[in-house]
Amino acid sequence: MTENKANVPGSGRLVVTGDGSHSVWNAEVGQHYHSIFGARQESERVFIELGLQEAWNRFPQVSILEMGFGTGLNALLTLQEAGRKQLPVRYTTIEAFPLPADEARQLNFDELLGTDQLAALHEARWQSWQPLTPTFSLFKHRGRLQDFRPDDRYNLVYYDAFAPEGQPELWTADIFRQIAGYLLPGGLLTTYCSKGYVQRNLKAAGFRVEKHPGPPRKREVLRAILE
């Protein structure tokens, strides 16, 4: 998969993906934060089209839990879409190892999306609600998913942990049972990972699993509904 990788001047970890948007290489787990075939396309397909838009069809108001704030791309796309639709979103995100500020400043998402909120997302205070726009409020939780104990329940989970090869502990039936306890009835979970054992673990945790066509170079992605 290295043929689509290009180093960005000034960063040993920043890469340009196939659709021109940035991703970041994490040497600790040996993976990129987003698909190298198109970070923006992956996030738009998995989290906005299959997640956010479906949640708006099902619920009068949407509260989101994101596993893996990472580059902030999923949050930025959600903020942008909430403003475009004029529909409020409460957005909680979990991150154990935030990107260094100098790397976050190099990301090109604002330029590509025509936004100016990426810095505000990365610079927002941890452990408190921040109303960033009239339609988007952000709560950033610094820590591990395994230790997270929310005060709220959610309509939608963006499950964007590193792939099972890098973080197998985040793809077990037990962790999905934990997440199921955070969701309201009929709540949704979307993820880019469609491995067979991930599907089985979601089903064991009480989810009904749907397979959907993925973004470029990805045959299938998942949407799971809590039954």
Fold of 39-226: Rossmann fold (3.40.50)
pLDDT-derived band at 15 (thresholds 50, 70, 90) equals very high
At 144, phi and psi to the nearest 5?
-90, 150
Q: Which residues lie below 8 Å from residue 1, measured CB to CB, with a gap of 6+?
A: 36, 37
Q: What is the pLDDT of residue 27?
A: 85
What is the pLDDT averaged over residues 197-211? 98
pLDDT above 50 (res 94)? yes
Q: What is the pLDDT of residue 1?
A: 27
Q: What is the pLDDT of residue 192?
A: 97
Q: Residue 75, by phi and psi: left (phi above 0), alpha (psi -120 to 50) or beta?
A: alpha
Residue with tokens 């100098």: 102
Q: What is the pLDDT of residue 30?
A: 86
17 near 23, Cβ under 8 Å? yes
Return the amino acid letter for 76: L
Which neighbouring-strand residues pair with 96?
none
d(CA 186, CA 171): 21
How much of the chain is in helix, strand and coil states, percent to nearest 5?
A: 35, 30, 35
d(CA 28, CA 166): 8
Bigger pLDDT: 170 vs 152: 170
Q: What is the pLDDT of residue 5?
A: 30
pLDDT above 90 covers a percentage of the chain that reads 86
pLDDT above 70 covers a percentage of the chain that reads 95
What are the residue ranges spanned by the domains of the chain? 39-226
d(CA 215, CA 192): 9
d(CA 189, CA 210): 10
pLDDT above 60 (res 6)? no
